[in-house]
Structures are given as structure tokens and as C-alpha cells.
Chain A
Amino acid sequence: MNTLQLVGAFALSFFAVVGRLTLFGVEALSHCLRPPFYLRSIGRQLIDIGYYSLPVVGLTAIFTGMVLALQSYVGFARFSAEGAIANVVVVSITRELGPVLAGLMVAGRIGAAMAAEIGTMRVTEQLDALTTLSTNPMKYLVAPRLIAGVIVLPLLVIIANIIGIFGGFIVAVYKLGFNPANYLQNTFEALHVDDVVSGLVKAAVFGFIISLMGCYHGYTSRGGAQGVGQATTSAVVSASILILCFDYVLTELFFAK
């Protein structure tokens, strides 16, 4: 096979996957908007995605905030600009690190779990069983996960933002010797609604991406345990890449002059 054929085969395969994913996403979205809605299932997903992700997202946020304060101090001390640390921590966490790190952590935890659960249901004929019981698997399994993902990621990011900023505060006050009142004042002055809202919009998009990739790879998995394993890996990898990709696109939309 020559290079041109290889490139052609890759392009065809890539666009076929994009096409299938788009059709899957459109169908899933249409089920999110049409009744019946499985409220118990949505509630269960809200708890699975949101509540059980709190520890990992919280730990990631607090250490990120602490490192950010420390690194900023080291860097800014060269220019005698240590006073800008609170500003850097707030802007970095709310605009960027809160949504992206929470997204990546949830992608690793939840995207994999979704792909594994739905993939196992596929290979054990549970999806076929749903269909024979007059239940559309897209509506029963995929739509609640998408709805829950879009709702819960922004809530997680709000908590991650608070914890991350608090991490920066701890390091600034207890290690770097900043005055707590001044640091808090700087923090609140640096906090802008636009930054927070842009981060929350990103989080909602990331929640959609994580749920979509987890469900898609699980739903289309084939071939027993190996297929489910592959689906799990693909869900995490593709969700992580898409999160970073859409992070750039959304940043460009929100902040590019």
C-alpha cells in the first residue's frame, strides 16, 4: 500500500467515525428533548457523576491552587510583582484550570465507567433486552447520562473553583506570609462574572463531551471483554483530547479580540 492509499484509508476511516459519532450525538440529543424522561435514572447519574467525583475533583483543585500560588510567587518575585498572585490564581482557576482539570478528572473516572457499563450491557445482550422490553436504550441509558453530565459538571466546577482559590490562599497566607485580609481583597477584586461564566459554559460542554464519548464507545463496543476494554480506553482518550480541543475553541470564542 503506498502513502497516498494510506492517507486515503485513514481519512475515510476518520470521517466515517466522525459521521457515526455525529449521528449518534444528534439522536441522543433528540431523546434528551423528547419525553418520556427517566428522572430516576437522571438522578442516579447526577449522584454518580457529581457526588462521587467530588473527592477527586476537590483534591485536584486544592493542589492545583496551591501549586499555582507557589509557582506564581517564584516567577513574579523576579519582577517584584508578588501582589498579582491572587489575581493569577483567580483568573487561572476560574477561566481555565477549574473546568479543564475537573473535566479531565471526570473523563477518567466517569467516561471510563460509562463505556464499561454500557459496553458490558452490549456484549451481554442487555441492550437488546431493553429493546424487547419496549425501552429505547438511547433514551433509557444515553439521554440521562448526557443530561446529568451537562448539569453536574458546572456544579463540580463551581466547587473546584472555590477549593482551588482556597488552596492558593492557604499557600499565600501560611507559607508565603501574605496578609489574609489583603489577599482576600485582591481575590475578590480579581473575580469577574465573565470569567466564572465562561468557565461554567466550558464545563457544561465538557460534561456533554464526556458523557457522549463514554456512551458512544460503550454503545458501539464489540467482541467481549477485549472490546469493552478498548471502548473504555477510547472513551477516556477521545474525551480528554476533545476537552482540550474545545477548550481552545471556546477560549477563542469568549476572549479573542
Chain B
Amino acid sequence: MNAALPKISIRGLCKAFGRKVVLDGIDLDLGSGESVVVIGGSGSGKSVLLKCVLGLMEPDAGSILIDGVETVGLRGEPRDEIGRKFGMLFQGAALFDSLPVWENVTFGLLAQQKIRRHDARGIAVAKLAQVGLGADVCDLAPSELSGGMQKRVALARAIAADPEIIFFDEPTTGLDPIMADVINSLIVKTTREVGASALSITHDMASARKIAHRIAMLYQGAIIWAGPVADVDASGDPRVDQFIHGRAEGPIQMAVRA
């Protein structure tokens, strides 16, 4: 395989809901071993972008290449084959309420029949240790865990199958600043250990600065700036400046009713 081939290559991606255009010709690449964070305000289309790449939503137009394979319109086993390269950390953790923690962590491995059921618990313990959780949480229900612990379990689930690409959807939302930093550190550590590429979406700049190699800003359905994380403070784009400094005044006007 060509080493320079991006893990993900998005070209001209468009998605609209009725008259509302959410994505309007997105171009974005994710290199091998790279961590790209897409930032943008609420409702800017970050989640839609992620869902299109994951195959949870069909784009109206454009191309999404995963390891050079076109995935738009891909169905059945070829789509599943691509999906097996992915790990995903959902915003609300999305742990399965009906299953204990260890079954949540190894769910994908069991579903793909990579392991047998009686081996799963040991693997879950090892993956939970990677995210700083002990074996004592194995038999707990997700509802018995705090928000931060749920995120850790979800991270353990995301890395359980040693995926090639991990997606993070607002990984620090709803967490206190210390726990958010713990999760960010774990994301950096585990992604490096697994050797995966990472595509994240967030509006938490502390998180973006910590986990990103490159940052891309999504605004009104388009990538308005992309570059190395070190350059984000000198982007020269007033919209990026306003967003990263969290100012109410500036070119980005939020739809707020008095």
C-alpha cells in the first residue's frame, strides 16, 4: 500500500436537509498516524461530517475514500469490511445499558467473532487498564458509572479491536476540566499505542490543542481554515480568531433571540 495514501480523503462532500445546506463541498485529508480535529460552532455540521464518513448518513454528493476505497454508496460486506477499521467514541458514550461494562468493551470483538466469549473478559480487563480503570468495574452496569468513567469505558470499547482510524465526537463534552484533560491525555496515549489515525470533532479548544496535529475549522458548511495546530493562533482569519478565543463579537453571528 502506498505510504503517502491518506487514510481518509474527503472531496466535495455535500449534505443538505431540505433547504438547509449543512455541508457544502468539504475537502479534508487524514494522513496515516495523524490526528485531525475539526472545530466549529454548534450546528456547523461537524457531527454530520463524521456520520457521513462513518457511513451512518449518506451524503448528497462528493467522495469519501478510506485507504483509497470509495465508500459513498458502498453497501453490504465491503462496507462492513471498511467499518472494521473504525473505532468510535460517541459524545454521550453510547454504552449499551443492557450489558455490563466488560461486554460493552468487547462487543465489537464478539460481534466480529474475533474472540470467544470466555476469552472476552480478560481482554476487557486489559483494555480497561489502558484507560486507567480497574477490573472491579467489569461487572457494573453503565448506569452505575460517572460521566468520566463512562467516557473511559467508551474509549476502551473504541480501541478494543485495535482500529486503524478512531473517531472522537466531542470527547470532553459534559466533563469537568480536570476529567476533560484526563480524557484528552488518554486519547493521545491510546491512539499512539494502537497506532491509529484520529479524526475528532469538538468545540473545546483545550481539547483540540491537546489531541490535534492539524486543525480544520468548519463554518457555514465549508472548511474555512486548516493547518497545523501550532498555526491556529496565527491563522489570519478573523472567524477562526473569534472562535478559538470564544468571543461573542466578531464576524460569526450566532442566531440568538433576546
Residues of A within 8 A of B (CB): 117, 120-121, 124-126, 128-135
Contact = CB atoms under 8 A, between A and B. Distances in A.
Contacts of A125: 90-92, 94
Interface residues of B, number: 24
B126 interface: no
Given A134-B80, A134-B83, A128 B56 contact: yes
Nearest to B54: A132
Contacts of B98: 117
B108 interface: yes
Nearest to B84: A134
Interface of B: 51, 54-56, 80, 83-84, 86-88, 90-92, 94-98, 107-108, 111-112, 157, 167
Given A133-B108, A134-B112, A128 B94 contact: yes
Contacts of A129: 88, 90, 94-96
A126 B87 CA distance: 14
A124 B55 contact: no
B92 A134 contact: no
Contacts of A134: 80, 83-84, 108, 111-112
Interface centre among A121, A125, A126, A132 (most CB of B within 10 A): A132
A124 B83 contact: no
Closest 4 CB pairs of A and B: A133-B108, A129-B94, A125-B94, A132-B88
A255 to B, nearest CB: 42
Contacts of B88: 129, 132
A132 B86 contact: yes
B172 to A, nearest CB: 17
B111 A131 contact: no
A163 B157 CA distance: 48
Contacts of A135: 107-108, 111
B94 A124 contact: yes
27 contacts: A117-B98, A120-B97, A121-B96, A124-B92, A125-B91, A125-B92, A125-B94, A126-B94, A126-B95, A126-B96, A128-B94, A129-B88, A129-B90, A129-B94, A129-B96, A130-B96, A131-B56, A132-B86, A132-B87, A132-B167, A133-B107, A134-B83, A134-B108, A134-B111, A134-B112, A135-B108, A135-B111
Contacts of A120: 97
A133 B103 CA distance: 12
B130 to A, nearest CB: 18
A124 B150 CA distance: 13
Nearest to A36: B113
A130 B86 CA distance: 12
Contacts of A130: 96
A146 B83 CA distance: 27
A121 B90 CA distance: 13
A125 to B, nearest CB: 4
A121 B94 CA distance: 8
B92 A132 contact: no
Given A129-B96, A131-B55, 19 more contacts: A120-B97, A121-B96, A121-B97, A124-B92, A124-B94, A125-B90, A125-B94, A126-B94, A126-B96, A128-B54, A128-B56, A129-B88, A130-B96, A132-B56, A132-B86, A133-B107, A133-B108, A134-B83, A135-B107
B43 to A, nearest CB: 16
Given A133-B111, A134-B111, A135-B107, A128 B84 contact: no
Nearest to A133: B108
